[in-house]
Structure 1
Amino acid sequence: MSKHSKKRKIVSKSEAQRKKYDSQEGVANGRFPNGQHKEEEDNSVTSPSKRSLTHIYLACITFIVITFFLSLIAFHNLLNVENVEFDDAYMFNIEQDEVLKRYKQIERMDKIHRRANLGLQEFKAVYDGKWPVLITDVMQEWPASNWTKEFFVNVYGEERITMKAVRGTLKSAESFALPLKLFLSHVHEGQPNTWTYLEDEIFLEQRPQLKKDLIKPVYLEEDLFQNFPSEIRPWNAMLLWGTRYSRSSLHIDPYNWTGTNAVFKGLKKWKLYPPGQDQYLYVYPDQLSGFPLSCYKYNSPVDAFNPDLKTYPMFRHAKAIEFDQKPGELLIIPTGWFHQAYNDDETMAVSSQVMNSGNYEIVIEEILKANEVLKDKLPQTFYDMTPVQKVNTLMRLMPKDILDRGREVNAEALNEIHKGTR
């Protein structure tokens, strides 16, 4: 029973007691429930019919009072819940409700929460898989917070990276591979319709000395993607470095995972769309990712920061959370949320993802949706397993051709970067 419902019942109890008291007082003072006063008897003889009517009224009042009193006792017993033992799930719901009450603005469509000293239990209860949050006090401990443009030019300037360039609208984006120092020599030259954006999934993965500068906070320590074979495990440290005006597309992340974004330099603007608005976003239908372990893509052709409302008129009805992300802030984006980032200054960041106990069922559903062969192989006990058992079982059932294709794709990606063809 929630505190609110209990409060409502207590109010009802008070009203019942008041009515009981009023009724009893009314009888004692010669008043009837309708407010009329009993006529004072004089020494004259009262007629038999009048005496009978009086007896009937008194009997009715007595019956009502007794019935009401018995009902009051029963109702009091229902309210007496001190000795009732609730199960763990019930107590968790009570605890979650209490947490949500502390953050009533969580239901507002225009707010992002900036949190420091956020406990893991509260993160899971309030945010994980539910609502986006900016963590403001974890990145200061990361060695990566000391990364600079000069450092990358001096140490990795000759290394090749992948980037996209835009002349015109976002739809005109083209991908290139070039030396990092060449990209960085022009990273300050962004214009509203001409900009570049480094989006490289492999650069940090291939350089462990850099990746170790990124420290996983407690909220991201559980990651079931680590149970995937390396051939099909998603790379989980994408280097992002954009000129002013550069931006991502409007999309949901692959496998519908929980996404993260850590800003080290610059200013990133975001538009996040709570689930249930696909009809306003003109999502491309039936697109596949092209990953060895395939999944569907959920991308929108709309540029939320420069929407073409003539072509996409329904987009005007989409509701977004809009906010700025500053250096030193870590953003965690729940599964199911469309999002688009816009760099309002030269901005360096790293994105990642997790599959955890809060979203693993959705990730598995996305995998099975695009890989029917796996769905047919699942044992009957699959849905009774723990999260780790489910993931491990799914990976053991992985067809050899998917693993072989994973090795090929990884090798091709590295080869394309070295040749400068990507």
Structure 2
Amino acid sequence: MKNMNKCSLKSLVFFVSGNRVANRAALTDMATGMVSLATVGVISVILGIFSQNGRLVKIWSYLWPLQKPEPSVLDSFDIRNSSYQFNYDHAHSVRQENMHKYDFKYIPRGVDRRSNLSLQEFIEVYDSKWPVLITDVVPTWKASNWTPEFFLQHYKDDRVTMKAVHGKMDSGKGLALPLFLFLQNIHKSDEMMWTYLEDELFLHTRPELRKDIGDCKYLNEDFFSLFPPSVIPWNAMMLWGTAHSRSSLHIDPYNWTGTNAVLSGTKKWKLFPPGQDHLLYVVHDRRCGFPLDCFKYNSEVDTFAVDEERYPLFKQARYIEFEQKAGELLIIPTGWFHQAYNSEVTLAVSSQVMNSQNYLVVLEEIIKAGNIKRSSLPLHFATLSPKGQVKTVASLLSPDILEKGQKLTEKILKEVQGNVERS
């Protein structure tokens, strides 16, 4: 090591006499040093000082990696010291760079329909970067065969939660009624009167239905499973809407990566790239109502019937509009506001993902809502693997929070079910 340092220092200093380099030995030493450094994977010229006409000239240092590392969406960040904000510009830059690796003809400002998509390409081009429609997953699920007749035969008296709208969307009322009443009126709707079944727990509490929702390799990395059962977000939300029914414009709880699988019918979507909150009239300081508390990010704007006088800035917002057909799975990245519109009677299932591409975003939401204190994270937190960081946060949840989560689920189930028991 001592000899190599001596050689490197010698090779960094050149004596210039006229227009020739006088010290040929220094050139030899420099070449030797460069080869030595190349064996450890990098050539580094730290600083050269030339003496010319009595002046010193500084040469900037540079690095030449022999193999360029893969860019990561999540930069190294210590969430213990400050709040985390996802770098969407960086994510888009990573996507653009990775698109050159593949032969697929991407839609630059639209949503690609993909089949036979490799997991590697999904991670590099879409996950936490850009929405995508997967066309060859949902048709393999048993749930794709669900029909109104099937539910009437087996679950007609089971209560479900729904939203009934007469007039503008903000006039909607929440109801819990037997499923057969919803299905009896499922074809009665117009632009100003519609009903949307939105039930977080119907499938969650019926494992025989939940298993009909098959596997998806793009969603298998699930860090939510590392949390105690009482606070794991309810997965597999049942969505069954009449024609003209729609969701609010929102970002999903915890700012997770969202999914929506259409089993039958058709949805229209408007998705808003990040960074436009100031144009969307987001309502702040609302809570999500999940077992593990979080903030709720909803907009007052109905993008399918915009009140331009009330929301004049909205017309400046950029969005992607497209249609999702039966058998297609939509994956929505973290940070994208979105609204769905059911063009016809449509049955779908939504779910969520927390993985190595978005885990810091979700952890920040958990901390922000007051579930744990940032200062309670251990000093070595940033050195842990993504999974290790999630496990650490989960382990810091107090018994009171875990008990509260369990009681909240039981309370909601009791309110929905009333005195009706499924035979």
CA contact (8 A) 2:71 2:94 kept: yes
Paired with 1:87 and 1:367, the residues of 2 have a C-alpha distance of 37
Contact 1:190/1:244 (<8 A) preserved = yes
CA distance in 2 between partners of 1:286 and 1:200 (Å): 23
Amino acid at match of 1:417: V
Q: 1:235 to 1:167 in 2, by over 3 A?
A: same
Q: Per-residue CA shift, 1:293-313, capped at 9, x if unaligned?
A: 221111100001001110000
2:66 to 86, 89, 99: 86
Q: Which residue of 2 is the match for residue 345 of structure 1?
A: 344
Deviates further, 143-152 or 118-127: 143-152
Q: Could you say which residue in structure 2 is the equivalent of 1:266?
A: 265
Q: Which residue of 1 aligns with 2:234?
A: 235
CA shift, 1:355, in A, is 0.4
What CA RMSD, in Å, does the superposition of the two structures yield over aligned residues?
2.6
1:134 counterpart = 2:114:
no
Query: Structure 1 counterpart of 2:238, which letter?
Result: L
> Which letter maps to 1:191?
D
Structure 1 residues 98, 273: closer, same or farther in 2, change over 3 A? Answer: closer
Q: Indicate if the aligned counterparts of 2:366 and 2:372 stay in contact, CA closer than 8 A.
A: no
In the other structure, the counterpart of 1:97 is: 97
1:338 counterpart letter in structure 2: F
1:2-401 matches, within 5 Å, as 86-87=66-67, 89-90=69-70, 97-100=97-100, 102=103, 105=106, 107-108=108-109, 111-371=110-370, 373-401=372-400
TM-score by length of 1: 0.77
Q: Is the 8 A contact 2:292 2:371 kept in 1?
A: no
**Cα distance in structure 2, aligned partners of 1:263 and 1:417:** 25
SS of residue in 2 equivalent to 1:297: strand
Gaps of 5+ in 2: 1-18, 20-33, 35-40, 44-63, 73-92
User: Is contact 1:100–1:126 with CA below 8 Å preserved after alignment?
Assistant: no
Q: How far 1:292 moved relative to its partner?
A: 3.8
Query: Counting strand residues as a fraction of each chain, which structure ranks higher?
Result: 2
Residue identity opposite 1:336 in structure 2: G
Q: 1:264-305, CA deviations, whole angstroms, 9 ceiling, x for partnerless residues? A: 111100000000000100111222223342211111000010
Query: Counterpart of 2:4?
Result: none
Distance 1:264-1:211 versus aligned 2 partners, 3 A rule = same
Deviation at 1:123, TM superposition (A): 0.2
- In the TM superposition, what is the alpha-carbon distance from 1:182 to its structure 2 partner? 1.0
For this pair of structures, how many residues does the alignment match?
343
Instruction: Provide TM-score, normalisation by structure 2.
Output: 0.76
Q: Distance in 2 between matches of 1:207 and 1:403?
A: 22
The structural deviation recorded for 1:369 is: 1.2
Cα distance in structure 2, aligned partners of 1:220 and 1:190? 34
Match of 2:230, SS state, is coil
Residues 1:95 and 1:415: Cα distance change in structure 2 (over 3 Å): closer
CA deviation string 1:17-69 (max 9, x = no partner): xxxxxxxxxxxxxxxxxxxxxxxxxxxxxxxxxxxxxxxxxxxxxx9xxxxxx
Distance in 2, matches of 1:216 and 1:374, equals: 35
Opposite residue 86 of structure 1, the aligned amino acid is L
